[in-house]
C-alpha cells in the first residue's frame, strides 16, 4: 500500500491538496535549519500542523473529521513523521468511515493494509521536500475570520504580493468567542503590538479553507481597520506562514475580548 493510494481512496481532493501543501511547506522550512536531528524536526512540524487543522479534526461533522485524521496521519508518514495521537485517531477513523459506509468498497477491503502502513515506522526524509508554488485565491477587500488558539480574529486583505502569491492582511483589534459579524467590525481600529501590524501570510490560500480555520466574512469591502498607515520604522508588513500565526500574533489581541 502506497501513501498516494490511501489519499486517493479518501475522495477528498481539496482537503488532501491543502494539507499536503501545508505539510510539505512546513517540513521543508524546518529541515532548512542546519543541525536539527530528525526528532527535533518532527517536534517542530507536528504540533503546529495539528493546531492549523484542529478545526477540521475537532469541530467538523464525523465523516470529514475521519477523513482529516486519516489524511494527516498518511501525509505525516509520507514525509517521515509519526505521532501517536494522530495515528490512534486515524486508525479509529478508518473504522468510522467503514461503519458509516462513507467511502468505497475498495477502501473497506484495503483497510487492513492502510492500518498496517500507518502503524509501520516511517522512513525519514534525506532532503527537503519540494515546496508547492505559493498562490492565494483571496483578493484585496476580503475580510476573513481566523481562529487562533480557540479565539476568533478578523483580518482585512490589503493587497496581494507578487503574482497572487500570498495576501497581506491586517487584523482588527479584539478577539471574539465566535466568528464576528461585519457590524461588530464597523469603525473598529487595527490591532496593535507596539506598532500597527500587517502580515504577509504564506499558506493563506483557499476560501473556503479546507482546514476550516479561516472563514470569509465579506468581499470587496472598502473600509480597512481604522487607524493610520504604517509609520516610519514600523516596516510595511512582516512575512510569516499561516502555521505560525498563533506565535507571531501573540499579544496582539489581549486588550479586548468579546
Check whether residue 102 and residue 154 sit in a common domain.
no
Contacts of 145 (CB under 8 A, 6+ apart): 152, 153, 154, 155, 176, 179, 180, 214, 215, 217
Check whether residue 89 and residue 197 sit in a common domain.
no
Give the whole-angstrom CA distance, residue 166 versus residue 201.
Answer: 6
Expressed in angstroms, the distance from the first to the final Cα of the chain is 49
pLDDT exceeding 90 applies to what percent of the chain? Answer: 83
Lowest mean pLDDT, pick from 13-17, 144-148, 227-231, 240-244: 227-231
The size of the chain, in residues, is: 258
In a domain, 258, yes or no: no
Check whether residue 13 and residue 114 sit in a common domain.
yes
pLDDT confidence of residue 236: 82
In a domain, 256, yes or no: no
Check whether residue 86 and residue 189 sit in a common domain.
no
Check whether residue 108 and residue 51 sit in a common domain.
yes
Give the whole-angstrom CA distance, residue 251 versus residue 243.
Answer: 17
In a domain, 68, yes or no: yes
pLDDT confidence of residue 226: 87
Check whether residue 194 and residue 241 sit in a common domain.
yes
Residue 18 has which C-alpha cell? 491543502
Domain boundary (65, 86, 119) is at 119
In a domain, 240, yes or no: yes
pLDDT confidence of residue 235: 58
pLDDT exceeding 70 applies to what percent of the chain? Answer: 93
How many domains in the chain?
2
Check whether residue 104 and residue 153 sit in a common domain.
no
Backbone angles phi, psi at 171, to 5 degrees: -85, 145
pLDDT confidence of residue 234: 54
What does R_g of the chain's alpha carbons equal in angstroms? 19
Check whether residue 114 and residue 151 sit in a common domain.
no
Domain boundary (86, 119, 152) is at 119
In a domain, 137, yes or no: no
Give the whole-angstrom CA distance, residue 54 versus residue 246.
Answer: 13
Q: Which domain holds residue 187?
A: 143-248
Residue 252 pLDDT grade (very low, low, confident, very high; cuts 50, 70, 90): confident
The whole model's pTM is what?
0.93
Check whether residue 89 and residue 167 sit in a common domain.
no
Amino acid at each position: 500500500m502506497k501513501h498516494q493510494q490511501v489519499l486517493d481512496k479518501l475522495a477528498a481532493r481539496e482537503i488532501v491538496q491543502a494539507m499536503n501543501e501545508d505539510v510539505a511547506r512546513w517540513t521543508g522550512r524546518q529541515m532548512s535549519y542546519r543541525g536539527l536531528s530528525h526528532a527535533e524536526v518532527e517536534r517542530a512540524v507536528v504540533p503546529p500542523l495539528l493546531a492549523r487543522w484542529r478545526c477540521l479534526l475537532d469541530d467538523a461533522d464525523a465523516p470529514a473529521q475521519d477523513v482529516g485524521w486519516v489524511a494527516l496521519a498518511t501525509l505525516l508518514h509520507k514525509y517521515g513523521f509519526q505521532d501517536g495521537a494522530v495515528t490512534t485517531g486515524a486508525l479509529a477513523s478508518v473504522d468510522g468511515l467503514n461503519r458509516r459506509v462513507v467511502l468505497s468498497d475498495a477502501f473497506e477491503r484495503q483497510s487492513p493494509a492502510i492500518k498496517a502502513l500507518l502503524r509501520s515506522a516511517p522512513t525519514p526524509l534525506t532532503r527537503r521536500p519540494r515546496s508547492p508554488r505559493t498562490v492565494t485565491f483571496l483578493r484585496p477587500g476580503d475580510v476573513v475570520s481566523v481562529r487562533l488558539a480557540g479565539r476568533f480574529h478578523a483580518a482585512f486583505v490589503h493587497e496581494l504580493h507578487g503574482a497572487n502569491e500570498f495576501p497581506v492582511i491586517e487584523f482588527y483589534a479584539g478577539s471574539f468567542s465566535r466568528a464576528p459579524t461585519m457590524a461588530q467590525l464597523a469603525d473598529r481600529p487595527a490591532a496593535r503590538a507596539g506598532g500597527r501590524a500587517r502580515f504577509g501570510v504564506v499558506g493563506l490560500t483557499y476560501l473556503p479553507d479546507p482546514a476550516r480555520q479561516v472563514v470569509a466574512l465579506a468581499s470587496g469591502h472598502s473600509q480597512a481597520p481604522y487607524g493610520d498607515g504604517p509609520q516610519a520604522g514600523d516596516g510595511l508588513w512582516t512575512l510569516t506562514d499561516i502555521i505560525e500565526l498563533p506565535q507571531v500574533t501573540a499579544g496582539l489581541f489581549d486588550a479586548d475580548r468579546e
